[in-house]
């Protein structure tokens, strides 16, 4: 029941977000953001991530905490390479 409510609120959030303008995030937490990513909508970013990951699945449909874990793992791997 809770997951259903959270998913519904996610759809409400995404709907409302269409009416909000965000600043151009040239840099986020010290990481420079490419211009094409700055211009993408939330859905476009999810679709881009989906197209670049090795496994099939919908990034768009993941819970936000799962998306954060995914990003944290990528950051960890990126920092290992440096």
* Tally of domains within the chain: 1
Residue 1 to residue 67: CA distance in whole angstroms: 21
In a domain, 36, yes or no: yes
Residue 19 to residue 3: CA distance in whole angstroms: 25
Residue 12 to residue 2: CA distance in whole angstroms: 15
In a domain, 48, yes or no: yes
What pTM does this model have? 0.68
In a domain, 14, yes or no: no
In a domain, 2, yes or no: no
3-state secondary structure of 26: coil
In a domain, 28, yes or no: yes
3-state secondary structure of 59: helix
Range of the domain at 41: 24-81
Q: Dump pLDDT digits (tens) for 1-41.
A: 888 888 788 788 878 877 877 777 888 888 899 999 988 88
In a domain, 8, yes or no: no
Distance of CA 18 to the CA centre of its chain: 15
In a domain, 68, yes or no: yes
């Amino acid at each position: 029941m809770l997951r259903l409510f959270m998913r519904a609120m996610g759809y409400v959030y995404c709907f409302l977000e269409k009416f909000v303008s965000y600043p151009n995030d040239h840099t986020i937490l010290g990481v420079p953001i490419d211009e094409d990513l700055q211009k993408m909508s939330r859905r476009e970013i999810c679709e881009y991530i989906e197209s670049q990951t090795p496994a099939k699945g919908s990034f768009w449909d993941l819970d936000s905490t799962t998306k954060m874990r995914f990003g944290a793992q990528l950051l960890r791997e990126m920092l290992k390479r440096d």
